[in-house]
Copies of this chain bind each other. A is one copy, B any other.
Amino acid sequence: MIRVGIYGATGYTGFELIKLLQCHPHVQISFATARSAAGKRLSDEFPTLIDLPIIAPEAADPATVDVAFCCLPHGASAPTVMQALAAGARVIDLSADFRLRDPADYERWYNAPHPAPEMLDQAVYGMPELYREHIRDARLVANPGCYPTSVILPLHPLARAGLLADPVVIVDSKSGVSGAGRSLSLKTHFGETHETFSAYNIGRKHRHIAEMDQETGARIIFSPHLLPVFRGILSTIYVTLKPGVELAAVRAAYDIFADEPFTHLLPDGRLPELRYVVNTNLCVIGIQPVDVDAGRYIIVAVEDNLLKGASGQALQNMNVMCGFDETMALT
């Protein structure tokens, strides 16, 4: 039995994480914090029968936990992470603060100096399919962004196999509204989001590009769109592979995922839909050849942005760190 604490319990990722943790047979939740809801109970914030007192972050003692999860916004997360590490806890940070290895990248994309550059070389990018061995012993795991998970998992095998002929990759992603968080904004007001669809921050603007470029070596042109559903991301990815690479060779690149519990390649001719993966920790991938002579393929990947794209992957990382079965509380 390990003890865990959650900073930032009343956002969507915090709440999803608590739902998962409460079903984990080897986990005991020691504290859950939220500045705005301190003194309330979780059931005051969410329509749920799961319950828990919520405390102020200052009232939480990270020295009492084995693992601390930080579900705080970027920038705000780093100080809490540093404090928890100093208290001896291992940390899984769901913010962007420790995802980029180069502090110059952080500064360029987040318009601020990195808040704790000295920790960057100890942080491990928390995607088990790529860094499982490093995660096992990590004290600080930087949990990947939601969009990047849906892009790096399908692109990494192609990059690793040296199949990408053109570093420029067009990624047209569509995300459910929960990706925009639970803070109030006209952008996520029902009347402005329901029964519509829009693109935003398209081109080379969205901060998640930094992670995608870092982990794939590609130069991603990224078009996020807002879907009128609550959960899920579908990314349609346009790659130019080496001319003439046959479908069988493309499929073979994904053999490295053959034993992965949460990353699946569909059979030829099938493409994934969002509902395959909503409420699961899966990333499901389909491949469509377009012009084999020219190396043109389309890859479609889906995930639940709150699970494999956030809290599910965080729990998967915890399972790896603690030597539990990696799928525990995730199936």
Contacts and interface: CB of A to CB of B under 8 A. Distances in A.
A202 B291 CA distance: 12
A191 B182 contact: yes
A291 B228 CA distance: 30
B194 A230 contact: yes
B199 A230 contact: no
Contacts of A97: none
A167 to B, nearest CB: 12
Contacts of A178: 191
A273 B170 contact: no
Given A174-B174, A184-B184, A274 B196 contact: yes
A197 B290 contact: no
Interface size band for A? 35 or more
A60 to B, nearest CB: 24
A82 to B, nearest CB: 31
Contact of A276 (B12, B48, B190, B290): B48
Contact of A271 (B198, B221, B227): B198
Given A191-B177, A198-B234, A184 B182 contact: no
B188 A186 contact: no
Contacts of A194: 177, 190, 194, 228-230
B229 A197 contact: yes
A311 interface: no
A272 B196 CA distance: 11
Contacts of A324: none
Contacts of A198: 234, 271-274
A251 interface: no
B202 A276 contact: no
Contact of A236 (B172, B232, B300): B172
Contacts of A331: 23
Nearest to A204: B290
A48 B264 CA distance: 12
A225 B273 CA distance: 10
B300 A191 contact: no
Nearest 6 A-B pairs (CB), nearest first? Answer: A198-B273, A196-B275, A203-B290, A172-B172, A184-B184, A197-B274
18 contacts: A47-B272, A47-B275, A47-B276, A48-B276, A178-B191, A184-B186, A191-B230, A195-B275, A196-B274, A196-B275, A197-B232, A198-B271, A198-B272, A202-B288, A204-B291, A225-B234, A228-B228, A238-B238
